[in-house]
Amino acid sequence: ELDLLLALGPALMAAKGWAAPEVEQTYARARVLCAQARKTAQLFPALRGLWRFYRSRGDLATAIELGEELYRLAQHEAAPTHLLEAHDALGQTLFYLGKYSAAWWHFAQGIPLIDPTVQRAQAIRHGIAPGVACLAYAAPTLWSLGYPEQALQRCQEALMLIQECEHPESHMLVHHLTAYLYHRRREPSAVQAHADAVLTLATAQGW
């Protein structure tokens, strides 16, 4: 049942959206089963799924708690992918809380852990490739801290990384956040180009 739930979670996110009640129910049940069976390896993806649900719903207090739990788990594991996912989760949540310095610290720790060769597989499991998200969210974070050129550099790195990852949702995120950055840079032609990329992706996927 646990394996089935962890396979069902990403499918529900893709079909119904990250904040759908079915997503919470699926990952919450997986979390309970992990505790009952003492399956620590499956606990991380269960918590990651719950984190994405609460972050998407705007329940940032719960999201930060789940992010901290992910970070504690990842620190006791040898898998760099889990540590990257934990830094990404905390960085995103702290960004939306307006805690930009703390968010950047997590992104800066996560970026060196990115492995371009596994981004597509991680994207399929989690809905967005965590390395792509880490770079993409680093850009508005750095902008908010007053580093516009570094922000642009991270956007460019994210755009390069998605070429290794044929995953529509990951492409969508990068183009959306890149448009966001160019809007603040007052470069309308670049905003238009990335907005058009988002529209093309959305139309092709029926979103």
Q: Which two tokens stand for residue 17?
A: 């959206």
45 in helix, strand or coil?
helix
129 touches 123 (CB < 8 A): yes
Q: Which long-range contacts (CB under 8 A, 24 or more apart) does 45-50 make?
A: 45/6, 45/9, 45/125, 45/126, 46/5, 46/6, 47/73, 48/85, 48/89, 48/126, 49/6, 49/9, 49/10, 49/13, 49/23, 49/126, 50/24
Q: What is the pLDDT along the chain (207 residues), one digit of tens a residue?
A: 999 999 999 889 888 988 999 999 999 999 999 999 887 788 999 999 999 999 999 999 999 999 999 999 999 876 778 999 999 999 999 999 999 999 999 999 999 999 888 777 776 776 778 899 999 999 999 999 999 999 999 999 999 998 877 788 888 899 999 999 999 999 999 999 999 999 998 898 777
| DSSP letter assigned to residue 77 | S
pLDDT in tens, 28-65: 999 999 999 887 788 999 999 999 999 999 999 999 99
